[in-house]
Chain A
């Protein structure tokens, strides 16, 4: 029964999370999509636990938490995969074109540079990079974050190219 309570909380999360994303966009909230997911997770988990306490005399917290955690993380995983994937953006643009075909040069010379500019815009909006005349320079916050990322990459033996290693 405790697993079922966890699943009820998952349903609440699956309804609340997109509702928050839509409301944030409609009302121009300053909260980021990840923060909204975290809020939805905390609220739905809290509701699930409350329901469990009142409905099940021997409520097993970790049974409910395990199924809730797994499903929510799968949701976040799928959300992250479709949110800003360069590969999927290329695939979607191909499918949406008339005739579903595109020259490689158009992807390389127009779409990817547009994505590049879009991500730079995100860094500027996030206060991590600032434009100076026609150049870009990292802010103090950007340098701090880059330093932390570099340390984590070194610790986990991860390269700094962000390219897929197909020899894996």
Chain B
């Protein structure tokens, strides 16, 4: 068994380790925008660096080495995105931080208010609905909500994924 990665794979492992560090650096540059935009910028930067490394490395390139490196980079990006999105958009985690920041016991209603930083759960509902409406999965007609054909297809896909991953 050969445990040594190829040159491109070794570069991809290095870039995978550098990826969160790059996100830390981008967080200090205001021009990089909000969380989502900064993450996308980080992904593009790392892929560009990988392309440069693949061109600049001496010797002949092997397809399996380059492909393996690309897959390793993809793995690191998805791993970081899962953690990043949990920090940025995690509902349960933010509930916990809101309770701790309040520094006193809260009733359910007070907790909801602290979570929304003065707003209410209606604001939260509208924020999540804006995502569904913006993605073309739900339409609003007056006070009523209805899924679009795309929304129904996504819902079926979600059910299939839940079933096939054992979530039922």
Contact = CB atoms under 8 A, between A and B. Distances in A.
Please report whether the interface of chain A is mostly helix, strand, loop or mixed according to DSSP.
Answer: helix
A106 to B, nearest CB: 9
B64 A107 contact: no
A158 B2 contact: no
Given A102-B144, A103-B143, A157-B27, A162 B34 contact: no
A66 B166 contact: no
A39 interface: no
A66 B71 contact: yes
Chain B CB within 10 A, most for which of A77, A113, A116: A116
B34 to A, nearest CB: 4
A86 B121 contact: no
Nearest to A156: B27
Contacts of A2: 64
Contacts of A78: 161, 165
Q: Lowest 7 A-B CB distances belong to which pairs?
A: A21-B166, A18-B166, A157-B27, A135-B105, A162-B94, A146-B100, A66-B71
A83 to B, nearest CB: 6
B91 A119 contact: yes
Contacts of A19: 166
Contacts of A63: 64, 68
A152 B92 CA distance: 16
Chain B, interface residues (CB within 8 Å), range: 35 or more
A146 B145 CA distance: 35
Given A17-B165, A136-B106, A149 B158 contact: no
Interface of B: 1-6, 9, 23-24, 26-28, 33-38, 64, 67-69, 71-72, 74-75, 78-79, 81-82, 84, 87-101, 105-108, 111-112, 116-117, 121-132, 134, 137-138, 140, 143-147, 151-152, 154-155, 158-159, 161-162, 164-168
Given A129-B96, A149-B93, A160-B94, A91 B87 contact: no
Given A3-B64, A62-B5, A167-B34, A158 B88 contact: yes
A137 B110 CA distance: 12
Nearest to A1: B64
A42 interface: no
A59 B96 contact: no
12 contacts: A3-B68, A52-B1, A62-B68, A63-B68, A73-B75, A88-B154, A91-B138, A146-B99, A146-B100, A156-B23, A158-B84, A162-B91
